[in-house]
Amino acid sequence: MVENGNLRVSLIIEEVGEFVVRKLRIVSSGSYIPKKIVTASEVDQILGLPDGRSEQMSGVQARRYVTGETTSQMAAYAIMGALEKSGLKFEDCDALIFAGATTEQPLPCTAAIVQRALGKMDSKVACFDIDSTCLSFVTAMDLAASLVDSGRYKRMIIVSSEIASVGLNKNQHEAYALFGDGAAAVIVEKTPENSTSHAFIAHMETFSEGAYTCQVAGGGTKLHARQHTRETEDQYLFHMDGRKVFRLVLEVVQGFTERMFKNTAHKLSDFNWVIPHQASGSGMELVRRKLEIPKEKYIDILANHGNMISASIPLALHQSIESGRIKRGDKVLLMGTSAGLSVGAVGIEY
Amino acid sequence: MVENGNLRVSLIIEEVGEFVVRKLRIVSSGSYIPKKIVTASEVDQILGLPDGRSEQMSGVQARRYVTGETTSQMAAYAIMGALEKSGLKFEDCDALIFAGATTEQPLPCTAAIVQRALGKMDSKVACFDIDSTCLSFVTAMDLAASLVDSGRYKRMIIVSSEIASVGLNKNQHEAYALFGDGAAAVIVEKTPENSTSHAFIAHMETFSEGAYTCQVAGGGTKLHARQHTRETEDQYLFHMDGRKVFRLVLEVVQGFTERMFKNTAHKLSDFNWVIPHQASGSGMELVRRKLEIPKEKYIDILANHGNMISASIPLALHQSIESGRIKRGDKVLLMGTSAGLSVGAVGIEY
């Protein structure tokens, strides 16, 4: 690379294919887990089920529920953890993405409220939200890869913070047994000269045949909060048709990975780690077997946290980095399914 | 550029600066405007104001309200218009961004519901939402510029569809007089060889001091729909502290443009057109004077449509392209303020 006045001349040699290599490096990560633990036995009691039934359905032994913490407070704590780890200040970042499904308020975007919760009202850091439900973090990583690689932003915070517990329906045992609350964050930047970190594959597909298989119907423009009554209250809670989701995922997931890897130099077995969305015990096992991913590569934190919507994948990533399982240079695939129904993945060298 | 086997060698000469040039071209645009017209006089009657008062406050002579149309249906119509204009099929695009503040349901993301409304359940087109309230379209254009430029997506649909009318509060005269419903869409792709279109500047800043100056407090995780009562109902409607917004915008907007243009070869007077968010008559005039933008360059569709949240900027863009005002080669600045409070802009050569 030569710089002459305000002209820069670069010689770029790259592999050609259907995939895109983008200079993205995870600087650090953080998380916030609510203190209140709700065990599978407690869920059995709440739902009036025989002891052991909810764990058997979901694979979840315990999860956390907020007791007063807000979405933005949890997000702020997760970000503070990531900042502390890296030694960076909030102002060293120029964008904050809230990537999640359960927003704190309908308006404004939750990222702005998180900036405020951090006490960084004067930081000018750009705040916006990305939502692809359970895949929101993966989508945000995918977008951030192009944004930092292109130089649009220098260093970005992505935070997923979800309060699932507020929308659970006691008549929906399967879903009730599954979900938990919490938050996780990463700081990403354009890969510096001394690092080989990058994002080397990404793919997303939406199959809206399944748009209503997981949904909260009420609370948007179609069914306003003012229409909430005893008769309609179920529509303002989470509804999941587990069997339909299962069938649709089974139908599309293998084709998805085939299309993702087509015309690329990569394959699933190249990855040191696969971090799946922690959808459910049986769902995760279904996908693992279908794609023939060895158990020891498949990161599973479901038993202790449940399905934390978009916060599951970054929490599993954070815990795996913290524990030393995932090391610099490892190839990691973040991959999941989400309401929509969507399948999405981003492959990185950490 | 030389290709040899699967290696590509490119010599890239680029201007160096704080700005980023990204290959983005708007292929086509479309819109959907509800049939029901609500005049300023009708608003005066609804609010019990003397005739002429609501127009005087807002600058809005008429706006449209939905009568049964949903967010996703309006979005689908706007997209169909853009597809028809370009001769493209939905499947020729590989991503659909719903960029907006008023989602159809809390879950799943509205983009997936739009894919379904288009009857394209088998298209596999990736669907996700971006929300920075009134700036959602601008943020989505900004993100799409990096995504298509990096090759992550080939061709993307961005649609903004807003139903403001469902959340208006009759006790908030200023806001009630201001808002309307509608949708607009664009299709964008990486600039082909025969075109000079590109995005050459973009900037966004969030000042969360103003996070609650425009808000809908109820309906998210903090204040669930189940807490909606006669006592709390106002909190589930749009609330705007017009004076505070005004003051904060006045305080930050000039510094914003200075920081945006700093260390770049560009300045505000280079633009043929500025498309501001159609916030309010007085708000738009305030920004125009403060930034010394000539009236003839400043695109204003407020009188006929009101503030359509995120759909205002793409509708003004679409109408200006349709009418022949904006021509290929013109430099256009999309710029606005939004709840958050954020200021954002993207500058393109159309």
**Domain locations along chain A:** 18-350
Q: What is the per-residue burial (b if ≥16 Cβ within 10 Å, else e) of A56-94? A: ebbbbbbbbbbeebbbbbbbbbbbbbbbebbebebebbb
Q: Is the preceding omega at residue A276 within 30 degrees of 0, hence cis? A: no
Contacts of B15 in chain A (CB under 8 A): 6-8
Nearest-neighbour CA in chain A from B136: distance (Å): 8
DSSP annotation string for A178-244: TB--EEEEEEEEPPPTT---EEEEEEEEE-GGGTTTEEB-SSSSSS-GGG--TTTGGGGS-EE-HHH
The answer regarding whether domain B198-349 maps to CATH 1.10.3720.10 reads no
Contacts of B135 in chain A (CB under 8 A): 128
Residue B329, judged by CB atoms within 10 A of its CB (0-12, 13-18, 19+), counts as exposed
Give yes or no for B3 touching A (CB within 8 A). yes
Contact call for B16 and A9, based on CB within 8 A:
no
Contact call for A11 and B11, based on CB within 8 A:
yes
What pLDDT is stored for residue B159 in this prediction? 98
Give yes or no for A105 touching B (CB within 8 A). yes
Give yes or no for B16 touching A (CB within 8 A). yes
Contacts of B68 in chain A (CB under 8 A): none
What residue has token string 């490119």?
B10
Q: What is the per-residue burial (b if ≥16 Cβ within 10 Å, else e) of B274-305? A: bbbbbbbbebbebbbeebebeeebbbbbbbbb
Contact between B183 and B77 (Cβ < 8 Å): yes
Nearest-neighbour CA in chain B from A198: distance (Å): 14
Angle between helix axes B312-322 and B136-149 (nearest 10 degrees) is 70
Contacts of A136 in chain B (CB under 8 A): 128
Contact between B91 and B210 (Cβ < 8 Å): no
Of B108, B149, B339, which has the smallest distance from its Cβ to A150's Cβ? B149
Pick the CATH number of A18-350 from 3.90.1150.10, 3.50.50.60, 2.60.40.10, 3.40.47.10: 3.40.47.10
Dig out the tokens for B267 from the structure. 């300045």
Average pLDDT taken over every residue of chain A = 94
Contacts of B9 in chain A (CB under 8 A): 11-13
Contacts of A112 in chain B (CB under 8 A): 206, 208, 211, 339-342
Contact call for A10 and B12, based on CB within 8 A:
yes
What pLDDT is stored for residue A23 in this prediction? 97
What pLDDT is stored for residue B20 in this prediction? 78
SS3 B82: helix
What pLDDT is stored for residue B84 in this prediction? 98
Contact call for B121 and A147, based on CB within 8 A:
no
Contacts of A101 in chain B (CB under 8 A): 106-107, 109
Contact call for B7 and A13, based on CB within 8 A:
yes
Give yes or no for A158 touching B (CB within 8 A). no
What contacts B117, CB < 8 A, 6 or more positions away?
B70, B72, B73, B75, B76
What contacts A42, CB < 8 A, 6 or more positions away?
none
What contacts B265, CB < 8 A, 6 or more positions away?
B15, B17, B19
Of A13, A109, A342, which has the smallest distance from its Cβ to B112's Cβ? A342
What residue has token string 């699932």?
A164
Contact call for A105 and B215, based on CB within 8 A:
yes
What pLDDT is stored for residue A20 in this prediction? 78
- Residue closest to A90 by CA, chosen among A102, A100, A82, A98: A82
Cβ under 8 Å to B: A residues 63-92: 70-71
pTM of the model: 0.95
Q: What is the per-residue burial (b if ≥16 Cβ within 10 Å, else e) of A250-286? A: eebbeebbeebbeebebebeebebbbbbbbbbebbeb
Contacts of A4 in chain B (CB under 8 A): none
Give yes or no for B116 touching A (CB within 8 A). yes
Which region holds residue B24: left if phi is over 0, alpha if psi is between -120 and 50, else beta?
beta
| Nearest Cα residue in chain B from A123 | B207
DSSP annotation string for A37-81: EEEHHHHHHHHTPPTTHHHHHH--SEEEE-SS--HHHHHHHHHHH
What pLDDT is stored for residue A8 in this prediction? 53
Residue type, A241: D
Instruction: Check whether B16 has a pLDDT greater than 60.
Output: no
Contact between B220 and A102 (Cβ < 8 Å): yes
Of B96, B130, B215, which has the smallest distance from its Cβ to A108's Cβ? B215
What pLDDT is stored for residue B13 in this prediction? 47
What mean pLDDT is predicted for residues B47-67?
96
Write out pLDDT tens, residues B171-214. 999 999 999 999 999 999 999 999 999 999 999 999 999 999 99
Contact call for A108 and B214, based on CB within 8 A:
yes
For β-strands B342-349 and B331-338, DSSP reports them as antiparallel
How many Cβ atoms sit within 10 Å of the Cβ of residue A171? 11
Contact call for B121 and A209, based on CB within 8 A:
yes
Cα B32 to its chain centre, rounded Å, is: 14
Contacts of B137 in chain A (CB under 8 A): none
CA dihedral B57, B58, B60, B61 (to 10 degrees): 0
Complex ipTM: 0.94
Q: Rounded to an integer, what distance in angstroms lies between the CA atom of residue B284 and that of residue B263?
A: 27
What pLDDT is stored for residue A9 in this prediction? 52
Write out pLDDT tens, residues B108-155. 999 999 999 999 999 999 999 999 999 999 999 999 999 999 999 999
What pLDDT is stored for residue B7 in this prediction? 52
What contacts B258, CB < 8 A, 6 or more positions away?
none
Please give the residue that has the higher pLDDT: either B159 or A19: B159
Q: Rounded to an integer, what distance in angstroms lies between the CA atom of residue A230 and that of residue A228?
A: 7
Cβ under 8 Å to B: A residues 288-347: 338-342, 344
Which top CATH class is B21-189? alpha beta
| Nearest Cα residue in chain A from B112 | A340
Contact call for A121 and B209, based on CB within 8 A:
yes
Write out pLDDT tens, residues A2-52. 454 455 555 554 444 445 799 999 999 999 999 999 999 999 999 999 999
| Nearest Cα residue in chain B from A338 | B108
B21-189 and B198-349 have identical folds? yes
- Residue closest to A339 by CA, chosen among A226, A227, A209: A209
Q: Rounded to an integer, what distance in angstroms lies between the CA atom of residue A141 and that of residue A145?
A: 6
Give yes or no for A115 touching B (CB within 8 A). yes
How many Cβ atoms sit within 10 Å of the Cβ of residue A210? 27
Q: Write out residues in chain A with pLDDT < 50, as ranges.
A: 1-2, 4-5, 13-18
Dig out the tokens for B270 from the structure. 């280079």
Dig out the tokens for A171 from the structure. 């008549």
Residue type, B226: R
- Residue closest to B203 by CA, chosen among A89, A158, A154, A157: A154
